[in-house]
Amino acid sequence: MRITPKNIRVRLIAWYIFSLGCVHVLLAGVLYQTVSRRLHYELDQRLLTYSTCLVELLPRHRQLDLAEVIGEMAELTALGRDLYVRVFDHNGELIYEAAGLPPELAGRFHAASETVTAHPTTLRLPGHGLWRMVRREVQENGKSLYVGHVAIPLRGVHQALAKLLVILLLIVPAILLLSSAGAWLLLNRALSPLQEAIQTAQVIQARDFSQRLRVPKTGDEVQVLAETFNEMIERLQRSFERMQQFISDASHELRTPLTILKGEIELGLKTCPRSDRCDILAACSSEISRMSRLVETLLFLSNTDAEKVALDLKPIRLDRLMADMAEQAQILAEPKHIHVELINGANTILHGDEMKLRRLLLNLSDNAVKYTPEGGRIILRSRPENGCAEIQVADTGIGIEAHDLPRIFDRFYRVDQSRSRAEGGYGLGLAICKWIAEAHGGSIHVESSPGKGSTFSVRLPVA
């Protein structure tokens, strides 16, 4: 996979490194400051402890070897031999000074010590770095007996902090590098379903809708994404298949009357006398009317797909609607001597589009008449059912085979192609019925037995 600035892996890793780097730099800074303060604090505490012991020993310095005691005290307080100590008596005379201190450093200490107090103070001595120094005084009856200066260089603390800084500068990038490598591997694993989805989508662009994503059993968003993607592909496949079937059927339906028209006209122009051309024109007019109805039906279904068909919702009395439709069904059934029976058991109010509901019931009644033999029976029934109004159109016709029932509401689907064409049907009426029922928040289904008849049931919510 080509890596570009827009690659989601690169963006995520970049944000991860940036965020993790900020956190580590912040933690490293906090650690460095904490260690620095701790080292300075411990050094100051030892310096204060040493100076306190020195103050206690000064009144007895004539009985003790002061240099030896100072050395032992320095070892006990872990200050080391680089400790610098000066002691003055009440006359300001120097009675002790640490041996081995360079004369220029001693002079600078003497000049800087004037600002030193009993609290540890940092002194910057050019050429000799930073020192921590404390000044302690021994008094008796308000008079100063001794003054002691104690100092120690901070280079030990600075060396420890420098080592810590080097360690942090090595560890932080190493942690970032290892974390980034681990994050890259985890991202590759986590985003592999997305890459698979991209590859599958590229295959689908070639209209191969048989491809599906592998669904990981992880129980997380990736599994939900894969399942949702597969469901979408399933719907696309069904839609594409219906579209292909629709185009094929529509082309066939339009081609047939056009072929008939062309043949009739050519035959009439070549062989028929002028007096017979009226019959030819009548046949052409019939085929044109048939094509017009087909085009109008296709336009209606196209508008339903584009959600351009609005419902004119009004209160409708179901008993009156059923009575009117029973009368129309009787008119359709009269030529075949079919008896139409009305069983009106639901005196409810529907909130719907009356014209479209009439079209639904008329389509069902027309189908019942077409496929019921002469002398048969059609029943229009309404009844309440689980808070809805159920409308049934039952017949004693030829019925529908079980394998045809799942597709009975598909567009252009006809159980018997030759019989449907002879009856003037296109296989679109039941598709329109299904849309009208669902547009009203209802449903439609069929039960049928070959040779015994069919029952179409429509459930609609009541107002």
Identify the CATH number of the domain in which residue 90 sits. Answer: 3.30.450
The CA distances from residue 396 to 188, 206, 375, in Å, are 64, 48, 10
Q: What percent of the chain has pLDDT over 90?
A: 29
355-381 per-position pLDDT tens digit: 999 999 999 999 999 999 999 999 999
Residues 330 and 415 in one domain: yes
Does position 7 have pLDDT exceeding 70, yes or no?
yes
Q: 289 and 350: one domain?
A: no
394: CATH: 3.30.565.10
pLDDT score recorded for residue 353? 92
Domain end call among 116, 133, 160:
160
Q: What is the pTM of this model?
A: 0.48
3-class DSSP state of 277: helix
- Better pLDDT: 302 or 176: 176
Show which of 160, 195, 227 is a domain's final residue.
160
Residue 213 lies in a domain: no
Minimum mean pLDDT range among 201-205, 344-348, 395-399, 447-451: 201-205
Which of 111, 133, 160 terminates a domain? The answer is 160
Q: What total number of domains does the chain contain?
A: 3
The most confident of the ranges 116-120, 234-238, 370-374 is 370-374
Residue 82 pLDDT exceeds 80: no
Degrees (nearest 5) of the Cα angle 287, 290, 293? 155
Instruction: Over range 107-124, report the average pLDDT.
Output: 66
Query: Helix, strand, or coil here: 97?
Result: strand
Q: Does residue 189 sit within a domain?
A: no
pLDDT bracket for residue 229 (50, 70, 90) = confident
Report whether pLDDT(3) > 50. no
Residue 160: per-residue pLDDT:
92
* Statement: residue 241 has pLDDT above 90: no
More confident residue, 164 or 12: 164
Instruction: Tell me, yes or no, whether 376 lies in a domain.
Output: yes
Please determine, for residue 325, whether its predicted confidence score (pLDDT) is greater than 90: yes
Residue 292: pLDDT over 50: yes
Instruction: Please tell me which residue, 40 or 109, carries the higher pLDDT value.
Output: 40
Dmax (CA) of the chain: 159
Domain identity same for 134 and 269: no
Query: What's the pLDDT at 5?
Result: 40
In sequence order, what E strands does 247-372 have? 314-317, 339-344, 349-352
Question: What is the pLDDT confidence band of residue 259, given thresholds at 50, 70 and 90?
Answer: confident
Give the residue-averaged pLDDT of 247-254: 66
Pick from 72-76, 137-141, 406-410 the range whose average pLDDT is largest: 406-410
- 290 is in which domain, residue-wise? 241-305
CA dist., res. 17 & res. 182, Å (int):
11
**pLDDT value of position 114:** 58
Looking up tokens 């009106």 gives 344
Residues 80 and 151 both lie in one domain: yes
User: Distances in Å between the alpha carbon of 247 and those of 190, 282, 300, 305?
Assistant: 42, 29, 16, 15
- Does residue 250 share a domain with residue 282? yes
Gap between the Cα atoms of 428 and 200, Å rounded: 34
Quote the mean pLDDT of the chain. 79
Q: Which of 11-25, 121-135, 216-230, 244-258 has the lowest mean pLDDT?
A: 244-258
